[in-house]
Amino acid sequence: MKVLVTGSAGQLGVAITRILGQDFEVVALRRTELDITDPDAVLQMARRVRPDVILNCAAYNDVDGAEDDPVTAMAVNGFAVRALATAARESAAVLVHYGTDFVFDGGVEEPYDELAVPAPMGVYGTSKLLGEWFACGAARHYVLRVESLFGGGAEAGDSDARRLGSTLDRMVDAMLAGRPVRGFTDRTVSPSYAPDVVLATRALLEADAPTGLYHCVNTGMATWFEVARFAAVSLQCESLLTPVTTDSVATRAPRPRFCALSNAKLATAGAVMPPWEDAVTRYLAARHDST
Ligand SMILES: NC(=O)c1ccc[n+]([C@@H]2O[C@H](COP(=O)([O-])OP(=O)(O)OC[C@H]3O[C@@H](n4cnc5c(N)ncnc54)[C@H](OP(=O)(O)O)[C@@H]3O)[C@@H](O)[C@H]2O)c1
């Protein structure tokens, strides 16, 4: 299997390149090597590489920044996916695209499943929803919604990847350095451990699972405070952690408060995601081993 990875320097891109690279031919492309907002470049690259699978890890993930720069957010997260879907169709490749829980407004009390109607609260969520729709333009496509992604570079000891975008990575960095950490008690999530997302992606591809939308998160749900406390207890630094509520922090973009996702459909397709506690435990062990 030949795999073309876009946005390969990002958190998920690093994990995908490392893990799938052990068994498959992976052509990993950073933004400087392929800007996905350039439709001609995307098409030319697909013609040159002739991939079996295009894995789109490129994204504009600055949730607050997207409110100020909606054009870039829509270009990268939305319209670029149309070009990737076109390239996938032309090269008879499978397109795997990653979505987000931010397509929901959090106004529920039970985990969202794939049939739940999206209602994004800001530009970022809207742009990602547009990308989901464009991904469907590929004859064979998987749209995998991930959430609160963490651990993309930890096992490789990749400090650059660790710095990227991950709330839990930054919390653990701070705790290990003895700095105080705050965790939201009123934001509920189902975190996604990057290596587990990669294995689920691989399982879907190898099983030739039905194409479409899947929630690709670790099993279970917790508030950010509970996730942080679990890590803090493991690291024996619980005293560094303070519970706070989201209204204590001003952000430009509104955020959904309850965004647990059900991964039952993914499990039915053959990719069973371990509980988030198990994922955090493996993540901390991997970080420990890599230092
Ligand atoms: N991180 C999370 O908590 C989270 C939550 C929900 C969903 N997701 C989704 O999961 C996927 C992977 O996220 P991630 O955390 O791995 O993202 P990330 O660490 O922010 O990496 C995104 C990568 O995309 C690259 N990129 C940006 N614009 C590009 C363009 N025009 N052309 C090519 N590459 C471009 C970035 O390059 P530069 O480094 O040069 O900017 C970066 O390397 C994304 O679809 C994201 O929306 C992530």
Residue pLDDT, tens place only, 262-276: 999 999 999 999 999
Which residue from 12, 46, 19, 290 is spatially nearest to 155, judged by alpha carbons? 290
Instruction: With a cut of 50, say whether residue 195 has pLDDT above it.
Output: yes
Instruction: With a cut of 50, say whether residue 25 has pLDDT above it.
Output: yes
Residue-by-residue DSSP string for 67-123 = HH-HHHHHIIIIIHHHHHHHHHHHTT-EEEEEEEGGGS----SS-B-TTSPP---SH
Work out the burial of residue 31: count CB atoms within 10 Å of its CB; fewer than 13 is exposed, 13-18 middle, 19 or more buried: middle
The residue among 276 and 154 whose pLDDT is bigger is 276
Q: Which domains does the chain have, with CATH numbers?
A: 2-290 (3.40.50.720)
Residue 64 Cα, ligand 1 centroid: separation in angstroms? 15
Confidence of residue 164 (pLDDT cuts 50, 70, 90): low
Instruction: With a cut of 60, say whether residue 156 has pLDDT above it.
Output: no
Most informative mutation of 95, 132, 149 for ligand 1 (most atoms within 8 A of CB): 149
Instruction: With a cut of 50, say whether residue 230 has pLDDT above it.
Output: yes
- The pTM of this model reads 0.96
Confidence of residue 162 (pLDDT cuts 50, 70, 90): very low
pLDDT for 290 equals: 77
Residue 98 Cα, ligand 1 centroid: separation in angstroms? 9
Residues with CB under 6 A from ligand 1: 6-7, 9-13, 31, 35-37, 57-61, 76, 98, 100, 128, 146-149, 152, 164-166
pLDDT for 123 equals: 98
CB contact at 8 A, 31 and 54: no
Instruction: With a cut of 60, say whether residue 158 has pLDDT above it.
Output: no
Instruction: With a cut of 60, say whether residue 159 has pLDDT above it.
Output: no
Residue 133 Cα, ligand 1 centroid: separation in angstroms? 18
Calculate mean pLDDT across residues 250-265.
94
Cα dihedral: 291, 24, 209, 217 (round 10): 10
pLDDT for 204 equals: 98
Q: Tokens 């400087």 belong to which residue?
A: 32
Calculate mean pLDDT across residues 194-216.
97
Instruction: With a cut of 50, say whether residue 88 has pLDDT above it.
Output: yes
Calculate mean pLDDT across residues 26-55.
98
pLDDT for 165 equals: 57
| CA–CA gap between residue 15 and residue 29 (Å, rounded) | 13
Residue 102 Cα, ligand 1 centroid: separation in angstroms? 14
Instruction: With a cut of 90, say whether residue 137 has pLDDT above it.
Output: yes
| CA–CA gap between residue 195 and residue 188 (Å, rounded) | 22
Which residue from 207, 219, 221 is spatially nearest to 258, judged by alpha carbons? 221
How many other β-carbons are positioned within 10 Å of the β-carbon of residue 150?
A: 26
Work out the burial of residue 249: count CB atoms within 10 Å of its CB; fewer than 13 is exposed, 13-18 middle, 19 or more buried: exposed
Residue pLDDT, tens place only, 113-136: 999 999 999 999 999 999 999 999
